[in-house]
Amino acid sequence: MADPEFLGDIEVRLQDPDGNTAEITADGRLKVSQEPPSAPPDTTSVSRVQYSSVTGTSDDVYTIPSGEELRIQRFAAGAEHSRDGSVVELWYDPNGNGTGMTIIDVLFVSGSSNQHDLNAVFTGNGTRAIRMRRRRLDGGARRIFARWEGYY
């Protein structure tokens, strides 16, 4: 059987109707990109972003409006590199005061960024909250980024 003939660099790209793509570049790398989530028409978008230097623990608390059904679509985090790293947690806080919480998602980060797509739904009563917690796993201060997006 003859050796295959080299035809030059070829790139392959696929795209679905939602704009998500998968691509094999000329150097053989696989690139996958996904369109960011968008809120449906006639809903209210929610995006909570925290980015600052953290020593210990830092919480961002979002109270879900009474009677609204909050749908969390994406959770993302990143942090400066450190020996032991950092963790960003997303919690459902039914009492709004940090007690009786249930973990929704967690990202461990150190010199990297990650994101997870979610489909978590919570109904507000004016007290229930979503708590985004950024924590250092070793001493010292590091810049930590965290964001969650959704709608109601």
CATH number at residue 131: 2.60.120.230
pLDDT on residue 68: 97
What pLDDT, in 10s, does the model give residues 31-72? 777 666 788 899 999 999 999 888 889 999 999 999 999 999
Q: Model-level pTM greater than 0.85?
A: no
| Residues 97, 102, 103: CA angle, nearest 5 degrees | 115
Question: For residues 1 and 71, what is the distance between their CA atoms, to the nearest angstrom?
Answer: 57
111 closest CA partner among 86, 80, 67, 142:
80
28, pLDDT greater than 70: yes
36 CA to centre of own chain: 11
Q: Across residues 125-151, what is the average pLDDT?
A: 92
Number of domains forming the structure of the chain: 1
Specify if 145 maps to a domain.
Answer: yes
Specify if 104 maps to a domain.
Answer: yes
- Residue 132's domain comprises 45-151
Specify if 14 maps to a domain.
Answer: no
Specify if 68 maps to a domain.
Answer: yes
Specify if 120 maps to a domain.
Answer: yes
Specify if 39 maps to a domain.
Answer: no
Specify if 147 maps to a domain.
Answer: yes
Question: For residues 97 and 131, what is the distance between their CA atoms, to the nearest angstrom?
Answer: 9
